[in-house]
Amino acid sequence: MDKVILNLYTDYLICSTSQTTATGLSRVTDGAISPDAITRFLSEEDFTSSDLWQIAKPLARSMEATIQENEYGVLVLDDTDEEKPYTDENEIIAYHYDHAKGRR
């Protein structure tokens, strides 16, 4: 079951275009996996970006192969954070240290 939850959770993170939650994933699976099961699974281990990449890499490689066959294809992966200096901090948005500017 853990591998199923990890694969579903990874796919959910990859394809989501907005905020992700255990409740949201449960809703996507029509309640087949409860939010509590997802939360328990995620709290059992410290997952890293490497764990996510190990699951996402085969998908990215298959897309890369498809793009190479089509001269017009483009694959863009972007993990940048965009500064929004006039946004207030709240339960979802938190300030982070900006190494380039040496401040929060």
Provide the whole-model pTM: 0.45
| Inside any domain, residue 104 | no
Domain that holds residue 16: 2-69
Which tens digit of pLDDT belongs to each residue from 26-45?
A: 898 888 888 998 888 888 87
| Inside any domain, residue 80 | no
Q: Binning pLDDT at 50, 70 and 90, where does residue 55 land?
A: confident
Is residue 1 predicted with pLDDT exceeding 60?
Answer: no
Fill in the DSSP letter of residue 89. P
Q: How many domains does the chain have?
A: 1
| Inside any domain, residue 42 | yes
According to the model, what pLDDT value does residue 97 have?
Answer: 74
Over range 67-78, report the average pLDDT: 65
Is residue 68 predicted with pLDDT exceeding 80?
Answer: no
